[in-house]
Amino acid sequence: MTNETQKPAAPRWMRIVLVVSLALNLGVAGVMGGAVLRWGGADGPPRVGQNAVPGDLSFRTAVSALPEADRRDMRENLRRQFRLSREAHRAGERGVPPAGAGGDAPGGIATAAPADGVIEALRAPEFDPRVITRALAAPMLRANALAEQGHSALVARIAAMPLDERRAYADRLMQAFADRADGTPGRPGPRD
């Protein structure tokens, strides 16, 4: 005779505690992994808006060194351009030509819906990778057009500055580079 005894099943509450414990451990591991990826080591990885190479001039650094009134004007202008671009893009998705844009948003930003034809291309017997390439490129092209508009507005503002304002701007920009080089957090220089 075999004397087989079955182990009693773990109580339900113990299984629940184990599952909750596992979930908490995974959560802690995820938070720690995210922190390592975000902040890296002593220097951490470069972030959007920060220069990966000291001395490189980013749009954010250049704008942050402007006087407060100019920064506010730049923000409002970029928001307005973004809204116009988004509205023109949405109108293009619905097949409605944007008012006064002739199919393009202000600044020549294409409004064709990026998903046009993607589903059909994926289901077609002969796959055309150009359709997917165009769909993936459309948001990048809109973002680049908006960035070019911002850069043009910034250069125009700097060009309009009298010499004393340009020199003060240069001083604030130098301070921004120095702050970035020594790791000082925050925005550069005093505000006007």
d(CA 166, CA 51) in angstroms, rounded, equals 22
pLDDT tens, 75-112? Answer: 898 888 888 888 887 776 555 444 444 444 444 444 44
What stretches in the chain show pLDDT beneath 70?
Answer: 1-4, 35-55, 92-116, 180-192
Q: Which of 84, 82, 81 is nearest to 100 (CA)?
A: 84
d(CA 133, CA 56) in angstroms, rounded, equals 31
d(CA 188, CA 181) in angstroms, rounded, equals 12
d(CA 106, CA 77) in angstroms, rounded, equals 12
d(CA 144, CA 180) in angstroms, rounded, equals 25
